């Protein structure tokens, strides 16, 4: 297992073949994740990242931080509530731009929300920074919890 991502670097289209040739390891499973996310979000053979049931995904407006509806296909800043987290609050707003299909229906047969593979980092040209500060953490937490309660 390895991790790290490109962090703004565009990998060549044959990066996986190059790694396989160099390492001799023939089977590579690709997942999406980050240090703050306890599990990984596995990629299927259709090229989609399937969100496990213990992660509750959100897509936020990149400028206001407002949560978009959790239905249909939505693009914006990725946020989640990780239900596996036991020693700290499991909510996080990332610096990643994602497109999530909340309605599911992937051709691989998995159900539930999935993330399209064209994940990008927000940059200074989009929002002024790809980092999230703590300035509105309490407000964002309250908004996320309100949306979850409204879904019940």
Sequence spans of domains, the chain? 15-151
Q: How far apart are alpha carbons 60 and 105 in whole angstroms? A: 22
> For position 126, what pLDDT does the model report?
61
Binned at pLDDT 50, 70 and 90, residue 136 comes out as very low
Record the tokens describing residue 133, joined without a space. Answer: 């500060």
The yes-or-no verdict on residue 134 having pLDDT over 50 is no
* The model scores a pTM over 0.75: no
- Eight-state DSSP code of residue 31: E
Round to whole Å and give the CA distance between 79 and 20.
32
How wide is the angle at C-alpha 102 spanned by C-alphas 33 and 80, nearest 5°? 40
Distance of alpha carbon 115 from alpha carbon 2, whole angstroms: 20
């Amino acid at each position: 297992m390895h991790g790290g991502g490109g962090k703004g670097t565009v990998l060549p289209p044959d990066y996986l073949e190059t790694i396989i040739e160099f390492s001799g390891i023939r089977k590579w499973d690709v997942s999406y994740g980050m240090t703050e996310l306890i599990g990984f979000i596995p990629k299927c053979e259709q090229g989609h990242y399937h969100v496990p049931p213990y992660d509750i995904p959100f897509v936020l407006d990149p400028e206001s931080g407002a949560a978009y509806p959790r239905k249909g296909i939505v693009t914006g800043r990725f946020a989640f509530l990780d239900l596996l987290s036991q020693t700290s609050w499991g909510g996080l707003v990332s610096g990643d731009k994602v497109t999530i299909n909340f309605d599911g229906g992937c051709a691989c047969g998995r159900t539930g929300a999935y993330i399209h593979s064209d994940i990008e980092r927000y940059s200074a040209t989009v929002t002024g920074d790809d980092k999230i500060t703590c300035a509105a953490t309490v407000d964002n937490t309250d908004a996320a919890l309100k949306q979850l309660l409204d879904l019940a």
